[in-house]
């Protein structure tokens, strides 16, 4: 799970989801990656004219319809194609982020190999690792120390995705203000922070108190109690279900 870069009392996080469709630019990316033209043609023909149908609520299958977005679900080739495509997108991310020192300092820091942590000079590889630290397939966790920096980062992300034919889902993108737990004092409680309003490239994202990211529950106080209880109940349910298979009993 991404975490704020630094030790501030507030962290601003956005979880976003990207969707896109193949096109001519994708074929050019494969060529730049060194894939032979004949193999690119085979891949293209493999995806052209894709059709699918879904099972309805009544159990019946729908009519066949054409699939014009994304790659084949469940195909062993799909993860490789996605990685090649996203590697190109990542290179553009690094360039755009590097042009803005404020944004670059706000990125998630992957500690492994981070020369800055050891007092050394930052390398281009360190910047790539920072960008990779927030990406996971088509789900991205963006963390910043201020709302303004988060808006700048999201603007870059939306614009770069658009250049590659991808669209950031405004409906599925949520923002979260992560706050430190209030310390007990004799004075009155501090006023709640203002609403978190993040706008990027014409999109406006809804604020939430919690969301699930990569299967884990993230909330505004960073409290893991609910997540631990949820996983504990799941473990007990599995134990009760498969107890006879797990333990030998006379």
Q: Which of the two residues, 127 and 145, has the higher pLDDT score?
A: 145
Alpha-carbon torsion angle 20, 24, 25, 26, nearest 10: 60
Q: Is residue 96 predicted with pLDDT exceeding 80?
A: yes
- Provide the token pair at 248: 């030998």
Q: What confidence category does residue 10 fall into, taking pLDDT thresholds of 50, 70 and 90?
A: very low
pLDDT tens-place string over residues 97-123: 878 877 777 765 544 444 444 455 666
Does the domain formed by 1-19+79-179+199-250 have CATH 3.40.50? no
Per-residue confidence (pLDDT) for residue 233, from 0 to 100:
92
How much is the pLDDT for 1? 32
Question: What is the structure's pLDDT at 73?
Answer: 76
In this model, does residue 12 exceed pLDDT 90? no
Instruction: Return the minimum-mean-pLDDT range out of 40-54, 130-144, 195-209, 224-238.
Output: 130-144
Question: What is the per-residue pLDDT for 92?
Answer: 85
| pLDDT tens string 43-85 | 888 888 888 888 988 889 999 998 877 777 778 888 888 888 8
pLDDT band of 93, cuts 50, 70, 90? confident
Per-residue pLDDT at 62: 92
| Pairing between β-strand 203-207 and β-strand 174-179 as defined by DSSP bridges | parallel
Q: Domain extents for the chain? A: 1-19+79-179+199-250, 22-68
Residues 6+ apart with CB under 8 A from 23: 165
- Phi then psi dihedrals of residue 59, to 5 deg: 90, -15
In this prediction, residue 4 has a pLDDT band, given cuts at 50, 70 and 90, of: very low
Q: What is the pLDDT of residue 195?
A: 77
| Residue pLDDT, tens place only, 162-219 | 888 888 888 888 888 877 665 655 566 666 677 788 888 888 888 888 888 777 888 8
Taking the model in full, what pTM does it have?
Answer: 0.66
> 133 CB contacts (<8 Å, ≥6 apart)?
2, 107, 108, 109, 110
Predicted local distance difference test score (pLDDT) of residue 237:
92
């Amino acid at each position: 799970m991404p975490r704020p870069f630094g030790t501030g009392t507030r962290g601003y996080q956005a979880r976003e989801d990207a969707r896109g469709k193949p096109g001519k630019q994708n074929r050019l990316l494969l060529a730049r990656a060194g894939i032979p033209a004949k193999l690119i043609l085979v891949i293209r023909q493999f995806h052209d004219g894709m059709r699918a149908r879904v099972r309805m609520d009544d159990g019946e299958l729908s009519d066949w319809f054409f699939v014009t977005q994304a790659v084949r679900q469940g195909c062993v080739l799909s993860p490789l194609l996605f990685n090649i495509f996203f590697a190109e997108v990542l290179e553009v991310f690094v360039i755009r982020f590097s042009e803005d020192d404020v944004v670059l300092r706000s990125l998630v820091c992957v500690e492994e190999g981070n020369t800055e942590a050891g007092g050394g000079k930052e390398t281009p590889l360190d910047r790539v690792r920072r960008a990779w630290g927030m990406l996971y397939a088509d789900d991205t966790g963006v963390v910043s120390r201020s709302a303004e920096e988060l808006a700048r980062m999201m603007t870059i992300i939306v614009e770069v995705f658009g250049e590659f034919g991808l669209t950031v889902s405004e409906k599925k993108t949520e923002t979260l203000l992560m706050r430190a737990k209030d310390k007990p004092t004799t004075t009155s409680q501090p006023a709640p922070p203002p609403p978190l309003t993040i706008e990027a490239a014409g999109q406006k994202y809804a604020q939430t108190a919690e969301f699930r990211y990569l299967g884990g529950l993230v909330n505004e106080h960073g409290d893991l109690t609910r997540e631990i209880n949820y996983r504990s109940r799941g473990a007990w349910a599995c134990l009760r279900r498969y107890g006879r298979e797990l333990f030998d009993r006379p």
